Structure 1
Amino acid sequence: MKQGLLLWSPCHHPPSLSILSISFPIHATPPKPISATLDSTTTTTHQELSARERRQLRNERRERKSGHSWKEEVEEKLLKKPKKRYATWTEELNLDNLADFGPQWWVVRVTRLRYEEISEKLARSLVRNFPDIEFKMYAPAVQVKRKLKNGTYSVKPKPIFPGCIFLRCVLNKEIHDSIRECDGVGGFVGSKVGNTKRQINRPRPVSPDDMEAIFQEAKVEQEKVNQAFEEEQRVEGSLELENINIDMDDKPKRQSRNASAKGYKLPAPGSTVRVISGTFAEFEGNLKKLNRKTGKATVAFTLFGKESLVEVDLNEIAAETK
């Protein structure tokens, strides 16, 4: 940046004020260009249009983007309203309309503790009260096999869906009420229908795809249980075999009777014998009786001046040699 020029002239006259002159450069400022954009023009145009004209322009842009009239699409949706299945809400509460579905699978809730007992009672009740109607009852369960301590096997069913029984029939209000009245039955699996004045639990059928998946799941679970039982049996069998081998190795070999009797001659009754071990060791007495089956010998000892008979083992006596 250029600075001002300071001029100084010396003078021999008495001091006086000097003349100070400063000059600054002057730059010319160019005029700013005037620019106009399309947005400002559009804004001005929109401000000039009325609300109706702006709405028409907006609709035209929508039609150009979608390729079809959006009004026609809205009108078609309004014309195709879902038709009500029932004319009034009271018809939806009528359980006799369930017969229109035909034979279907239904889910009945029962008590878990008496699962098998309630299933049998319900089946007998349906056959007795409705002999002309075909029923199918399915309680998905796996048969669990176990080996007891006494060597026998027990088989008990384990439910896959505890507290649920699947029933296939043509359901109506009479059958529905008869099943609900059975002891231990909690009702059907369904959904609430009606309004604030009256509501009921309307049973909902199970689709064929879901039932097929349930059948497949029960089959897979049964295969898993069988494989687990077979594996357990193989492990127990190998352990028992090892225990038997260990017992046979630890058990001392039994000598044969001929080998044990070889070189040893039993004394004859009436001979004098001496007790070599036991309570009466080193006692001498008269052999009265010899029993080879029980391995016992009756020996008469003289104790305190009286003859007493005592039974001892054959291996505890030996013939007295003079």
Structure 2
Amino acid sequence: MNKKDEDIKDIDNSQELEELKQHAQWYVINCNKGHERRVYEDLKQKIETLNLKDKIFDIKIVEEVILNKDKKPETKNVFPGYIFINMIMTDETWYDVRNTPGVTGFIGSSGRGIKPLPLSEKEVNTMLYRDNKQVKKEPIVKKDKSEERDFDLNDYVHIISGALKGHEGQVGQLDDDKGVATVNIDFFGRSTPVKVEYVCCKKVSS
């Protein structure tokens, strides 16, 4: 095969992949907290080894950069224990992903051989994108400890900035030393506690 034929084949393969991507959907997999990056790399390797590029198209760990207690930038996983995967759900891909080391299952599957439900378009846009762009890794300005929050324990708050902007949840814990609230937000049909800085929260009016 000459170079011209190879170029034509590459174009055909690229067009075919783009067409296949139209049938892919976003799913959420569970993994052990703290092992997200390792599972991510294992999934990438499995895609290469098993030649699944025409069935699994993207894998994401949603992260943001915050300022730690030393006021230095630090990357934080927004959804600990969760990895997002864009794929065509088949018996093969379902099996291969589930049997990747560190993966404990798919969100939205009741078990007993029932395949998981994909994320809705609204969930994809809220969790992965902002105006069709990937969530920006922008530092969240740490609130001065002397500033008072406008909410208390068990209040409902609206998150006004950061990667979780637009979500609402109930305050489960308060850390006035760090200026961080633990907010219970409904993700994937279950209540998930996430840490959000006071400056990013606003009390929901009753």
Q: How does the TM-score come out when normalised to structure 1?
A: 0.33
Q: Which has the higher helix share?
A: 1
Q: How does the TM-score come out when normalised to structure 2?
A: 0.49
Q: Which has the higher strand share?
A: 2
Which structure has more relative contact order (CA 8 Å, sep 6+)? It is 2
Higher radius of gyration, 1 or 2: 1
